[in-house]
Every structure is written in C-alpha cells, then in structure tokens.
Amino acid sequence: MSPFLIVIFTLLVIYKLYKFVYDKPPNTPPGIIRIPIGGSYWMLLWGNYKFPYLTIDYYVKKLKSKVISCYMGDSFTIIVNDYKSIKEVLSREEFDGRVTTAQHIKDRAFGKELGIFFIEGPQWHEQRRFTLRHMRDFGFGRRQDKLESEIMDEMTLFLDILKNGPIYDGEKEILKGNLALFPDILYASAANNIWNIMFGRRFDRSEHDISRLLCRMSILFQRSNDPTGGAISQRSIFRYFGNMFSYTNHMKGSTTISNIIKKYLDYQKTIINENDNQGFVDRYLKKLNGDDKLDNFTEEQLIILLNDVMFPAFSAIPSVITHVIKYLMHHPRIMEKVQNEIDNVVGTGRLATWDDRKNLPYLEATIRETMRIETLTPLSITHKCLKKTTLQGYEIPANTFIFTNLAAMHHDPDLWGDPKIFRPERFLKEDGQLAKDFTLPFGFGHRLCAGETYTRYNLFGTVVLLVQNFNFFFVEGEPSSLEDKVPGIIVSPKELWIRLESR
C-alpha cells in the first residue's frame, strides 16, 4: 500500500473515531464523550467506579448546563439535574415511557414485558389503573383504620422482640443481647405490612424467616444494578458472564421472590370464594376468573406486578430507617430534640399514631432531611421519551432515555444553600411547623410512587417506636461512617450491628 493511501486511511479512521466520540443528534443538550462498547458509561465509571452517578455533577459543571446528554451503550440519553427540569420531565406524558427492551428485565418476567415498573403504553395504563383502584381499598395510597391498626399490631410485636429478645433461630441471627443487626432487624415488619395488603394476611412470628428472605432477595436483586442500569443494561451479552456483571444475583433475587409469590398464589386460589375480599390478590384473581377478563390480566403478570409493588417496601423502607438512625447517632443534638418532642407529644406509654404526625414536625423534618441527603434512588427509574419533543429549549428525539438525577437536585446549592449539612430545620417555618417540601424522593406525576402515603406512615411509625424506646450506640469495628453505603438501584447502608439501650 502506498504512503498516500496509508495517510488517507489513517485520516479516515481518525475522522470516524472523532465523529463517534463527539457526535450526537442536532440541537440536543451538550454531551459527555463516548467510547466504544460502553459509550459514556466508561466516563462515569472513571469518575467514580462504585457510585458512577456521582460523576454526573462534574460534567454538569464542565458543560455549564443542568440538562446534559450522553450515550449509555448505544442508547442516546438525557440527564436532567435541577428541580425545574426534573419536575417538567415527570409532569409530561411524552416522558412517561420506560425502557422495555432490556433483556435482563424481560428475563426476570418470564421473557415478557410484565409488571408495572418496566412497561408502558396501554398495558401500563390498564394495570396501573386497576392496581391503584383496588389497592386503595386496602389502605395503599389512602388512610384506612383497619390497616393502621394491623400495622400497630406489627409494631407492638417488633417492640416486644427488641425488648424481650429472640425466640426463633432466625431472630437469634439478627438480635444478640442488646445488639441488633440493621437493616435486617427491620425486614420482618416491613415485609409483613405490605404482604398483608396484597394477600390479606401476615406471617406469624414463626414464619418471619420468609419475611426476611423476601427482603434479602429484594436487596440482592436491586444491588445487582447501579442507578445507571449498569453494564448489563448496556450489553445483554454480559448475561452470559455469570455473576461477573451481577446477572446471577439479579435473577436469583427476582426469581426467589417470584417463586414465593407463586407458592402463596397457588394456596390463595384453593381457598378463595366469591365472598373473599381480604387483599389485592383476591381482587386480581377474581378478575382472572371473571367473564370480563382482559388479555393483559394473567397469572404471570400478577406475579411480576406483586414483585414490583412490594419491592420498595422490602428494601427501601428498612434502608431509609437505618439511614435515619445512623444520622441521628452522628448528630446527638438532633437526636435529643427528636426524643424530647416525642416525649412531650406521645410520652412513653403508647405507640404513636398517624394523627400524632402533625404534632411532631421536627421528627417529620428529620425524616425528610434524611431522604434528601441520602436520596435512595439517585436516578429514579429510567424514563423514555415517547415522541419527538423539546425540553428546556433542546430537541429530544423519540425513544431517548431520560435520567432524572434526584440526587443532584437534592444537593443543589441553588435550592438548598448548604446541601451537604444535615439540618432538619430547613423543612420548618419560623413558627416550627412544616414548610413546603421541595424534595421528590417518591417521584412526581403519572409515575409517582403509588405507595408514598403508605411508606411515609411506616417510616414515621417505626422511627418513633425506635427513638422513643431506645438510645443507640455504635459497635466498635462496625461500618459506622455515613459513607458506608452499598450501590444499587437503591443506595442502601451497609449492614451493621447497633447497641440498643432502653430509655
């Protein structure tokens, strides 16, 4: 080959490489460069391998834009990082789409597009409408005296276990004397309360190993992907590398939960009659057996729907409560104020009720501040643009993936002033009452977490119970730092033993 042709070939390769690295759709937000195979994901990993979403802030500052773009593998992606842009994305129907083509998401759903988290279009609208309509009747999304009474019963049992010690072998693994393993100690009550809504029954104390298994498998599943979706979302071929890219854990966690659900569904089908109306599952099974059954209502759909709906209760609630306890332990002045408020309003002779919440503003502000500073789902669940549109003056092509960077918004100095400081007072007005809450830990719009009311009630009640009855102390050698966290779809605290002393 002549030197001239070699030069031409070299220039052509350089041009193609340059175009690949820097090219993006016209009039779209400024972007992060991309590299073959992983796209811009490599750049995020380069900045912070463990928590790649934290690298986004560097590029927001470098590109001087709160709305930026990148490539996650081959997929063009928009990342919005400020309150105004995030609120707009979550409010508009054009951005209600989901990533439905990821093979590992289909693998957990019998190779289909099922559930409620990772579907879109008429199927999502239909399943969401039915789910919200009927789950509200059992206290999910609205107050219900029966459910609140049953949750109080569960909390009474939880307190009894903490004060009087373990009985069963599973309890002895997470409660040793006055040492409790967090968040594991919270798993049984967290799983029982949501299971009760779905199946109309709770696991009794001898069955708590099942409750804890559900939560542990949920944690295993969600930790198999970082908030960006991870390498396995970029290239489905990585499924064949075993657990190198956490695919094995992904499937083990999801399949174990689905198998448990299937087992109890089979039992539920043998006892249900036309008068049964104990939980959401009864309603769905009647729909399956009714004359008006629709194509999207199947047993497989019900299994994955239950998996999706219960997943946050299994993993998120224990994680948030553990974050709250750790922050209070690191800030004894705030702990003292919270305990004094509870003592003055609730006292020591009873559990707090939902009606007490309005009289415990500092406690509520502390929970809000914890969910702000420790954004549980930093990038939420990926959205997708359903048709060509615009956002903040930029053109957004159809099928563009969209990350709502809740972590960045919750740490935006323009919104919070001193976002790195743990300061519950930011959520209070001068008279000590709660101010407007600008956080979005449960999302917003049509994709708003349906369990927000339910979750806030459980967080409130459990935190009150714990700080009302105990003082907390770190155990030497345990992961006590606020930075001791594990990546995943949910950023969760590392497991740690905490010493409890009755007040």
CATH code (residue 224): 1.10.630.10
Average pLDDT over residues 166-181: 95
Q: What is the pTM of this model?
A: 0.94
- Tell me if 112 sits within 8 A of 106, measured CB to CB: yes
Q: At a CB cut-off of 8 Å and minimum separation 6, what does 156 contact?
A: 351
Domain annotation covers residue 273? yes
Q: How confident is the model at residue 21 (pLDDT cuts 50, 70, 90)?
A: confident
Amino acid present at 346: V
Q: What's the pLDDT at 144?
A: 80
- Tell me if 465 sits within 8 A of 151, measured CB to CB: no
Q: What's the pLDDT at 224?
A: 76
Domain annotation covers residue 191? yes
Confidence check: pLDDT of 44 > 80 = yes
Domain annotation covers residue 204? yes
Q: At a CB cut-off of 8 Å and minimum separation 6, what does 187 contact?
A: 211, 212, 214, 215, 216, 314, 318
- Helix/strand/coil for 428: strand
Counting the structural domains of the chain, the total is 1
Phi–psi pair at 500, nearest 5 degrees: -105, 135
- Tens-digit pLDDT profile for residues 440-457: 999 999 998 888 889 999
- Tell me if 202 sits within 8 A of 156, measured CB to CB: no
Q: What's the pLDDT at 383?
A: 95
Residue 320 belongs to what domain range? 46-502
Domain annotation covers residue 164? yes
Confidence check: pLDDT of 488 > 70 = yes
- Tell me if 130 sits within 8 A of 287, measured CB to CB: yes
CA angle at 425 for the pair 424 and 426, rounded to the nearest 5°: 90
Task: Give, to the nearest 10 degrees, the angle between helix 247-271 and helix 299-330.
Answer: 120
Averaged pLDDT of the chain: 91
Phi–psi pair at 353, nearest 5 degrees: -110, 170
Cα dihedral 81, 83, 85, 89 in deg (nearest 10): 100
For the chain, the distance separating the N- and C-terminal CA atoms, rounded to the nearest angstrom, is 85
Q: Is the dihedral of CA 280, 304, 455, 479 positive or negative?
A: positive
Domain annotation covers residue 38? no
Domain annotation covers residue 39? no
CA 289 to chain centroid: 33
Instruction: Find out whether 449 is annotated in a ligand binding site.
Output: yes
Phi–psi pair at 477, nearest 5 degrees: 90, -10
Q: At a CB cut-off of 8 Å and minimum separation 6, what does 22 contact?
A: 31, 33
